[in-house]
């Protein structure tokens, strides 16, 4: 069972063919997608897409969106989580976190929203899906102060020590398109060496295209596209399999188990899908 633990199906890049994108993923063997929100204005759409396509979702405010958010949006998050507390498709609070790479962002505002959303997740008893970009140590510091029931460090690109620290706190680490690039030596080494219980697979579609979809800046300027889709997940999984010496079937099974451990509601959702299909 292939599970894409991070797909932005609500992104405008999918407006023209969203149904076909989901159908192609299913045809490729991807059984489940997790759709994280990035801002309060998107909560309703993400929830509706998950219901319409039999998928899972998470609600949160992304660090790249906090400059346009208000504290009222934190209240909206609390209210949305409370309203959906019995919805089996709600699996996490996310995408939340810190981004210390993009210039011009207010670090204090990011930290305020990060800490507030950790508290909201803790109070809701939900795991979190974390945005990690040059911010692993700061994220870990927040998690040590505000304990949440684990989750996923999305698109992980930190050190081995940081990876181990996240794992100690009950987190799984997301590996996707970046792992497929031969020059991504640190990511590939982590994917190969971490305990089998740590990696989960993701696409971050439409972003982080794998190597076979990547286009250079010159190619993009000439009009070449490089949209990532969840149908790429099995091929991304095959890269993880090669790095670890697993078969694709072993990789699908192990990463699915890891996703269930990170986001416990996912397992019940997939079991219900099996029963309905029987």
| Alpha helices for the chain (secondary structure H) | 18-27, 43-53, 71-83, 107-124, 136-145, 160-168, 185-193, 217-221, 233-244, 248-262, 265-277
181 known ligand binder = no
Q: Is 131 annotated as a binding-site member? A: yes
The reply, when asked if residue 53 is annotated as ligand binding, is no
Indicate the burial class of 211 (C-beta count within 10 angstroms; 0-12, 13-18, 19 or more). middle
75 assigned ligand-binding residue: no
Cβ-contact 204, 155 below 8 angstroms:
yes
CB 139 within 8 A of CB 132: yes
**Residue set of the binding site:** 6, 8, 95, 131, 154, 204
- Binding-site residue set for a divalent metal cation: 6, 8, 95, 131, 154, 204
């Amino acid at each position: 069972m292939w599970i894409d633990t991070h797909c932005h199906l609500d992104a405008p890049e999918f407006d023209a063919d969203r149904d076909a994108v989901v159908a192609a993923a299913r045809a490729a063997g991807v059984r489940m997608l997790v759709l994280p929100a990035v801002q309060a204005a998107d909560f309703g759409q993400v929830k509706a897409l998950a219901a319409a396509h039999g998928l899972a979702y998470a609600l949160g405010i992304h660090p790249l969106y906090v400059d346009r958010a208000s504290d009222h949006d934190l209240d909206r998050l609390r209210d949305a989580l409370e309203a959906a507390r019995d919805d089996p498709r709600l699996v996490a609070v996310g995408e939340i976190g810190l981004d210390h790479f993009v210039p011009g962002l207010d670090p204090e505002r990011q930290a305020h929203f990060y800490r507030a959303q950790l508290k909201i997740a803790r109070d809701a008893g939900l795991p979190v899906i974390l945005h990690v970009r040059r911010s692993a140590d700061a994220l870990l510091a927040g998690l040590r102060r505000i304990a949440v029931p684990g989750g996923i460090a999305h698109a992980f690109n930190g050190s081995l020590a940081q990876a181990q620290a996240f794992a100690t706190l009950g987190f799984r680490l997301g590996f996707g398109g970046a792992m497929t690039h031969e020059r991504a030596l640190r990511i590939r080494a982590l994917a190969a060496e971490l305990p089998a219980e740590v990696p989960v697979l993701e696409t971050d579609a439409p972003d982080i295209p794998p190597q076979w979809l990547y286009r250079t800046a010159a190619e993009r300027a000439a009009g070449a596209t490089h949209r990532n889709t969840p149908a790429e997940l099995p091929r991304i999984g095959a890269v993880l399999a090669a790095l670890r010496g697993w078969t694709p079937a072993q990789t699908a099974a192990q990463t699915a188990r890891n996703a269930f451990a990170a986001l416990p509601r996912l397992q019940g959702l997939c079991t219900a899908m099996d029963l309905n299909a029987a």
